[in-house]
Amino acid sequence: MTLPFFLDTSVLVAYFAENDSQHEKAVRELQKTGKEETMVSDYVLDEFLTVLFSKTKSKPDCEKAYKELTGNTQALIVAKEAFNAAEALFFQGNRLSFTDCTTLYFCKKHGFKLVTFDGELSKLST
C-alpha cells in the first residue's frame, strides 16, 4: 500500500488559479498523484480558500474549487496534539507559517508524501 499524498496550499492555489505562474506545474504535480489518496488539513483548506479568493475575487470560483477538492481529498482536523506540535515547531527559528508547521506535523507523523512548491517546507519534510 502506498502512502497518501498531503497537498500544500501552494500547489492547490496554483492548480485552481489558472492565471497563476505555476499553474501548469501544479497540474503536472497533481497528475502524478494519480488515483492515490490525497489529504489536506482544515488549516490548509482555510489558507487555500483565503489565498484563492484574494487572487480570483470570486466566491463562486472558490466554491467550485472547494467542492472539487473536498470531493476527492480527505481533510484532517488540527486537534490539540497537532496544534501543540506545530506551536513548538513554529517558534524554533524556521521560516514556516503556522499552517506549514501543522502540515509538517501530519507528514512526519503519518509518513505522507508532501506535494508543495514551498522550498523550506519541502526540505524539512524529508
Nearest CA among 2, 39, 12, 3 for reference residue 116 = 12
Q: Are strands 5-7 and 113-115 parallel, antiparallel or unpaired?
A: parallel
What pLDDT was estimated at residue 1? 59
- Alpha carbon separation from 70 to 48, 78, 88, 120, 125 (Å, rounded): 12, 16, 29, 26, 23
Low-confidence ranges of the chain (pLDDT < 70): 1
Distance from C-alpha of 91 to C-alpha of 17, rounded to nearest angstrom? 31
What pLDDT was estimated at residue 15? 98
Domains and CATH numbers, the chain: 5-117 (3.40.50.1010)
What pLDDT was estimated at residue 114? 97
Cell numbers found for residue 16: 485552481
How many other CB atoms are there within 10 angstroms of residue 1's CB atom? 5
